[in-house]
């Protein structure tokens, strides 16, 4: 039977190894999420920024267009996914109809969640 000191050293080594593995798995997940948020920002910058404020501050260029950072005050951001995929139709005549791929919808939702006013 191993000594207590040897057992403690083995246990410490095992825990350190598990911590390193957990860290290695977490870093790519965070990078992928950041990449998705960046893609969402690029999509809304290209398609939405002519009318909407798309960042954490600033006014919308079109006075009738709500800033994206305030949308969660009206409804859950996740609820926009279906409209983004099928085509957002607004009662506002200036609003063009957009339809995005499922991956683009996920990116836009992630970005919008990242900028919501607290």
pLDDT given for residue 25 in this prediction:
55
pLDDT digits (tens, 9 = 90+) for 57-67: 999 999 999 99
Please report the DSSP string for the chain in residue order: ---HHHHHHHHHHHHHHHHHHHHHHHHHHHHHHHHHHHHHHHHHHHHTTTTS--SSS---SSTTSPPGGGGGGTS-GGGHHHHHHH-B--SSTTPPPB---HHHHHHHHHHHHHH---
pLDDT above 90 as % of the chain: 55
pLDDT digits (tens, 9 = 90+) for 1-48: 556 777 676 666 665 555 565 555 554 545 556 799 999 999 999 999
Report pTM: 0.70
**Model confidence at 88: pLDDT above 60:** yes
């Amino acid at each position: 039977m191993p000594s207590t000191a040897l057992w403690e050293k083995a246990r410490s080594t095992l825990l350190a190894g598990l911590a390193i593995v957990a860290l290695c798995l977490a870093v790519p997940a965070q990078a992928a999420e950041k990449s998705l948020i960046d893609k969402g920002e690029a999509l809304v910058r290209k398609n939405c920024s002519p009318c909407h404020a798309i960042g954490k501050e600033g006014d919308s260029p079109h006075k009738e267009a709500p800033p994206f950072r305030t949308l969660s005050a009206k409804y859950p951001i996740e609820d926009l996914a279906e409209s983004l995929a099928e085509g957002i139709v607004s009662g506002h005549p200036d609003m063009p109809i957009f339809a995005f791929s499922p991956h683009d919808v996920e990116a836009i939702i992630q970005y919008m969640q990242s900028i919501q006013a607290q």
